[in-house]
Structure formats: C-alpha cells, structure tokens
Amino acid sequence: MLRTLRSLPLWLTSRRGGWLSLLIAVVAFTALLGALGRVSLPAGNDVAPPGSESARAAVLAERFPDADEHAVLLVASRDDGKKLDDDDVAAINALATDVEAETGREPHGPIVSDDGEAAVLQATLALDDDDDDAAADAVHGLRDTVAANPIDGMTVQVTGGPAFGVDVASAFDGADFTLLMVTLGIVALLLIVTYRSPVLWMIPLVVVALADQLANKATAAVGAGLGLQFDSGIVSVLVFGAGTNYALLLISRYREELARETDHRRALVAAWRATAPAIVASNVTVVLALSTLALAVIPGTRGLGIASAVGLLIALAAVLLVLPPALAVCGRRIFWPFAPRVGDAAVTGRVWGAVAHRVSRRPWVPLVGGLALLGVLAGGLAGASVGLTQVEKFRVESESAAGLTVLGDHFPAGEAQPMIVIGDTGEVDALTAALGEVPGVLRVSATGEGTDGALTRLLVVGKPAPGTTESLDLVSAVRDAVDTVPDADAVVGGPVAADLDAREGNQRDLLLVVPLVLAVSLLVLIVLLRSVVAPVLLLAVNILSAVAAIGAGTWLSRVVFGWEALDLQVPLLSFLFLVALGIDYTIFLVHRARVEAQTVGTRQGMVRALTATGGVITSAGVVLAAVFAALGLLPLVTLGQIGLIVGIGVLVDTFVVRTLVVPAIFAIVGDRMWWPGKVGGADRPHGGEYEDAAVATAPVAR
C-alpha cells in the first residue's frame, strides 16, 4: 500500500502518465455527469425533527379529506391608511368572485379587522405538497387575478404558507448561478494576485470548478437516494473554498521545490509527497466532522453534513489526482512571467520570516495580545438571541412578508399562523373546553373530521405574534392542556408548533454534535502529530477562535445589518465550519513545523514553518473568507449570517491565530509540545539578529 502511494505521484506526473491521467479524468467526469445529469435534489425544507409532535401532526393531517387544501390569505388595506368604507368592502366582495373563478373554491370572507383598516379573504388552493411547480402556478395565478382586478386606492397582497414557499423559491431564481459566477470571480482574482501569473490561475480554477459541478450532481443523487434536505449553495462554497485551499498548498510547495530542482516533474513529485499527508489529514478532519451531522435530528442539518462530506471527498480527489498531471504537462512555464529558477531564495517568504522571528523572540506579547483580542470579539455574544420569525428570515422584499406584516398590524397576530390540534373525535368537547381555558388562546374551532371519522381537527388561534417567546410559551401551554385529556391522544402542530420543535431539535443537535466534532478534531491531530500536548493546546485555541468569530458575527449582524437574532441553525453550522476549517490551517502549519523540528528543534521549526507556509495560509484564508462572504448574495438571512461569521472567523484564524498565537505557544512550550513523542532537533537559545537572519534565509527542509 505504501509503495503504491509513493509511486502514485510518479505516475501522475510522468510524461505518459500525466496525459493518460488527464484523459481518464475527462472520461470519468463526462461519464459521471452523463449518468447523473437528470438527477435533481428532492424538494423539502422541514424545520422540525421527523419524530417531533408537529411532524406527527402533519402526518395525521394527511388522513383528512382536504389534506391537499392549503389556505392562502389576501390582505387588503387602503393606501392612505384610512378605514375601509362600504365601497371598499363591496370591491373586496367583487374580488372574491374573481378569486373563486381562479381557484374553483369559494373564499371565506372578507373579514374586516376590528380597527376597520384592513380586510382578509381566505382562499383555498388544492396543492400537492411535493409539486413545487403546481404551487408556484397557483400562487402566481392568484396574484395575476388580483393584478387584473385592481381596487382603486387599495393594495391587496397574497400571503400565507404556500405564498411564502413560492416567494422563497422565486428569490433563489438565478441566485445559485450568481453565487457560482461570483465565487469563480473571487477565486480567479485572488489566484492571480497570489501567483502574479496570467496563466497559472486557470489550472486550479478549472479543476476545482469541474469538481464543484460533479459534486453538485453527486450530492443531488445522494440526496435523492437517501431523502436528504440541504442547501446546495453551502456545499458549493465548501467545495470551492476547500478545493482552492488544497490547490494553493500543493502549488506553493511545488513552487518551493522548483527553486531546488531543475526537473519540474521531480519537483512536483516532491511537492505531492510533502503536502499530500497534510491535505488528506485536513480533508479527513472536515469530512469526519461533517459526518457527525448524520446524527442530527433537524433534516436540513443532517442532509448538509452528508452532502458536504461527499462534495469535499470529490474536491480532494480532484486536487490530488487531476491537478498534478495538469501541472506536469504544462511545466515550469505555467508560472510565467515569474517562473521560479533554481537557487531562487525569494520563495522562502521574508515578510513571514520576520514575523515568525519576532514572535519567537518575544512570544508572550503576541500570545497575550492575541488571546485578549479573541476575548473581546467573543464578548459580542452578550445579549445574543437565537430564532428568527418567518418574516425576519427573508433578506429581500417579498409580497408574502409584506402581507403578513399588514395582517399582524390589524388582526390578532396569531391569526396568521394558528395552531392545529388533532385528536380523537369523541373527546372534541373536552379538548375544546381545555383549550379554551388556556390564557392567550383567542378562539378554538373544529375544522373537519378525518376520512374514517376517528379524528377531528381543531384550529387554535392565539394572541401572541408567531415566532415570539410568548407564542412559543403558548404552544407549550396548549400541549399541556391537551395532555389533560389523555383519552383524546391529541397532538399539537402547525407552523408555530414546528418552530418550537425546531428550536428544541437544534439545541439537541448543538449539544450532541459539538462534542463529537471536537473529539474528531482532537483524534486526527493526535494521530497526525503523534502528540497529546500539541493537539489539546491547538484545539483549545481553535475553540476560542470559533467562539470569538461567532461573537463578532453576532454583534455585526445586530448592529450593522439589523438582524436582531441568529437563525436556529447558525450557531451549530458556524461552529462546525470554523472548528473544522480552522483545523485545516493548523494542520498545514503544524505538520510542516513538526517536519522542520526534526532538524532544528521546535522553536526554529515553527519559525521555518511559518516562513514557508505563511503566504499560502494567508492566501487560502482570504480565498475561503471571500467565498463564504459570497453567501450573502443569497436571499435568506441564515446563509448571510453563516457567511459573515465564517468569513470573519477564517480571517481572524489566518491573521491572528496561525500567525501570532500558535507560533507564540510553540515558542513558549518548545519541544514539550510533542509529548509523549520526541523530535530529532534540539531547541537552541536565540543567538541574536545574525542567527535570525541566517535561519530566515536558510533552505527549507524537504
């Protein structure tokens, strides 16, 4: 096995093997895309765990004859803010006739608000929950009907559950393509700046872009096969970010080797062998960390973990198996006009060498300063809250959100999203009585029986606005009330109940997944570094860095962007990405430091490691932060918050943690970092400026 791994880069970079490898890659890519071309990600965006009470209520709701019927609200209000007069109400009644002609069902209403300033028509649409196109056609048809029959001086907005779903889907029209184009542009620009070559940037960009396209189809196939739900935009960002990071590390080491080797193929083999362990370890860490999400109960979180793991494995294969032959067939000239020449010492990185030496000579100053900065950033968590309402989740304007706002201004806020109680028909009176005694419940009404008559559905309208703490408390109170009628075997569902279940599910996932992610990261570091002390200290710093990023992102979300709370999935996903991706840079740096420590000791080994990898880690960090920031282009606040937090975290990790804090810790602890293992070199006392300069310009160990 080891012999095969050592001979693999020789084959990939040889004259014949390089071309054959590229041919095999093209054929495999074409075949896989052809086989998976028609696969699409299944629809669905369940927020609550499948086993939750609201999910059980949704299953029971399918046993009612009107299970395919969904209510859509038409909210009418005067443009001048005055009360509706008789002519206005008559016009709304006339509109009801047109709505009936469009939907085939008589709408309920109009119902005029107590303040007389708004009215609501409740239309019914027959929709298949799995047919998004039919829902879009029905909602757009209803809106076209409203537009074709305007009421002078009034605005009529279509809102409600189906309308919200259609507006979310519409907001994403073209968004994924825009995200892809922006991501490509960001990566291309940063690669050009990094390598100052008009040619080189195209090679890794094409390889990673093709890996992203294959990952998109492969994850869709996995999602369809396993019934997963996930956001493909996040998967694409991870594939692009991680794939580009791997490519940067490999090409950077290749450039170093070209300064020592006349044969570019031998240089590429040396670079592959030197960087492959770190790249594989980095990938395995992130993949294993993401795989822990398979234990999550929230469908979107679970699906994202599995899909992202598949995407990152594809990115790893592309960089280690396709990028090397592409570089090999191009040769040294791919770096034109700054192709490295044998004996070129510039690649050692003088700026990062100077930083490394300053940190090594006075480690306590950057250590205390860096930790203090992380502590200040973490203070942004003070006063943070979690949970967005349905309206707050939308970053862009939408008719459904505007209509829901008008509805809440003039009607009891709970009218927009009533609770649904389904229980035994024989206990309806007892259930109604128990629910009527719950403080905050405004109205309880029976809305139908199941097909076998055994179940009855009750609609419970509460006073609090959906998504507020009061509304969640009311759901708990309603559930306690139905439990007092044990023979009813009733369940409480609806959007507000699903929100409560989602909060509990996300909290459960956070408490389960975070320890698993930390355990996986620690185990990988122990195996890679063959040490206990270094992994524990590095992981502790990584945790603090992640918490600092979440704190800074939370503060900026609230103060700059006006997002008063984090969405439910943001804390877990942000922490996961920050820890897993932060370990990436730890592995890139510390793996190199261990190699160098074998000859010059731990302190000087870290100096050499930072000198050699400082530039590539910085470039990789900037690329990853910029790619995650591109998530802000998408219309959901959730994705914007994840992009903001992870972007900040990667930059802090790159410029503070890996540049200052980690080297300072290594300078202070010294060879004890590798306990119980040992390194070959022995730490030496600093010999002044001359020795510092000598080490800074010394050849990097191979």
What angle separates helix 350-361 from helix 689-697, to the nearest 10 degrees?
140
Residue 127: pLDDT band with limits 50, 70, 90: confident
Q: pLDDT by residue (tens digit) across 195-238?
A: 777 888 888 888 988 998 899 889 888 888 888 888 777 888 88
Confidence at residue 693, expressed as pLDDT on a 0 to 100 scale:
38
Amino acid at 505: G
To 5 degrees, how large is the angle CA 505–CA 510–CA 511? 100
- CA-nearest of 101, 103, 76 to 91 is 76
Average pLDDT over residues 123-144: 78
Residue 5 has pLDDT above 70, yes or no: no
- Categorize the per-residue pLDDT at 473 as very low, low, confident or very high, splitting at 50, 70 and 90: very high
CB contact at 8 A, 243 and 211 = yes
Check: CB of residue 588 under 8 Å from CB of residue 616. yes
Residues 416-438, buried b or exposed e (16+ Cβ, 10 A)?
A: bbbbbbbbbbebbebbbebbeeb
74 — phi, psi (to 5°)?
-105, 110
The DSSP element (H or E) to which 340 belongs, if any, is none
Question: Where does 530-569 have alpha helices with state H?
Answer: 533-559
Strand-by-strand arrangement of the 118-126 sheet: 108-112, 118-126, 69-78, 154-159
The answer, yes or no, to whether residue 314 has pLDDT greater than 90, is yes
Q: Check whether 702 has a pLDDT greater than 80.
A: no
| pLDDT attached to residue 129 | 60
Q: What pLDDT band is residue 256 in, cutting at 50, 70 and 90?
A: confident
pLDDT for 515 equals 92
Alpha helices (H) in 411-494, listed in sequence order = 428-436, 469-483
Separation in Å, CA 513 to CA 25, 78, 85, 461, 506: 36, 50, 57, 36, 10
Per-residue pLDDT for 341 more than 90? no
Amino acid at 587: I
| pLDDT tops 70 at residue 684 | no
How far is Cα 668 from Cα 514, in angstroms, rounded to an integer? 29
Q: What is the distance between the alpha carbons of residues 208 and 214, in angstroms, rounded to a whole number? A: 10
d(CA 109, CA 92): 9
Torsion on CA atoms 245, 249, 252, 258, rounded to nearest 10: -140
Among 2-11, 55-64, 415-424, 550-559, the least confident range? 2-11
Determine the 3-state secondary structure of 442 from DSSP. strand
The percentage of residues in the chain with a pLDDT greater than 90, rounded to a whole number, is: 19
What pLDDT, on the 0 to 100 scale, is given for residue 171? 66
In CATH, the number for domain 1-38+176-335 is 1.20.1640.10
Helix axes 232-258, 637-652, angle to 10 degrees: 20
Highest-confidence segment of 490-499, 574-583, 625-634, 674-683: 490-499
The pLDDT confidence band at residue 469, using thresholds 50, 70 and 90, is confident
Distance CA 415, CA 663 (A): 58
More confident residue, 580 or 510: 510
Q: Residue 521: which of 572, 573, 575, 579 has the closest Cα? A: 579
**Alpha-helical regions (H) of 292-418:** 299-317, 323-330, 350-361, 364-378, 399-410
State residue 112 phi and psi, 5-degree precision: -90, 135
**Residue 258 confidence (pLDDT):** 86
Q: Which CATH number fits domain 65-171: 3.30.1370, 3.30.360, 1.10.238, 3.30.70?
A: 3.30.70
Residue 17 clears pLDDT 70, i.e. is over it: yes
pLDDT tens readout for residues 158-196: 888 788 777 777 766 666 677 777 777 877 887 777 777
* Domain boundaries of the chain, sorted by first residue: 1-38+176-335, 65-171, 348-397+506-702, 418-493
- Sheet strands (E) in 97-247: 108-112, 118-126, 154-159
Residue 81's alpha-carbon distances to 88, 159, 514, in angstroms, are 13, 19, 50
For the packed helices 232-258 and 602-629, what is the interaxial angle rounded to 10 degrees? Answer: 140
Q: Do 148 and 169 form a contact (C-beta atoms < 8 A)?
A: no
Judged by DSSP in three states, 347 sits in helix
pLDDT tens-digit profile of 260-298? 888 889 999 999 988 888 888 888 888 988 889 889 999
Provide the terminal-to-terminal Cα distance of the chain, rounded to the nearest Å. Answer: 23
Q: pLDDT for 634-676, tens place per residue? A: 777 888 888 899 889 988 988 898 889 999 999 998 888 888 8
Task: Give the residue among 482, 489, 542 at the shortest CA–CA distance from 514.
Answer: 542
| 418: Cβ contacts below 8 Å, ≥ 6 apart | 459, 460, 461, 462, 494
pLDDT digits (tens, 9 = 90+) for 345-370: 544 467 778 888 888 889 999 999 99
Quick one: pLDDT band at residue 682, thresholds 50, 70, 90? low
- 346: CB partners within 8 A, 6+ apart: none
Identify the architecture of domain 348-397+506-702 in CATH. Answer: Up-down Bundle (1.20)
* Nearest alpha-carbon partner for 494 in 95, 61, 62, 73: 61
Supply the pLDDT for residue 37: 73
Distance, CA of 645 to CA of 557 (rounded, Å):
9
| 348-397+506-702 matches 1-38+176-335 in CATH topology | yes
- DSSP state for residue 381 in the 8-state scheme: G
pLDDT digits (tens, 9 = 90+) for 205-214: 889 889 988 9
DSSP code, position 465: P
Burial state string for 456-493 with b = 16 or more CB within 10 A and e = fewer than 16: bbbebbbbbbbbeeebbebbeebbebbeebeebebbbb
Beta-carbon contacts of 378 under 8 Å, excluding residues fewer than 6 positions away, are: 544, 547, 548, 550, 551
Number of H helices, E strands in the chain: 24, 8
pLDDT for 594-606, tens place per residue? 888 888 888 888 8
Contact 156, 145 (CB under 8 A): no
Read off the pLDDT of residues 499-534 as tens digits, 9 standing for 90 and up: 899 999 999 999 999 999 899 888 888 888 888 998
Q: What is the pLDDT of residue 317?
A: 93
In this structure, the chain runs to a length of 702
pTM score: 0.81
pLDDT-derived band at 480, boundaries 50, 70, 90: very high
The domain 418-493 is placed in CATH, from the list 3.30.70.1320, 3.40.50.720, 2.60.40.10, 3.40.50.2300, at 3.30.70.1320
Question: What's the mean per-residue pLDDT of the chain?
Answer: 83
Region label for 419, one of left (φ > 0), alpha (ψ between -120 and 50) or beta (otherwise) = beta
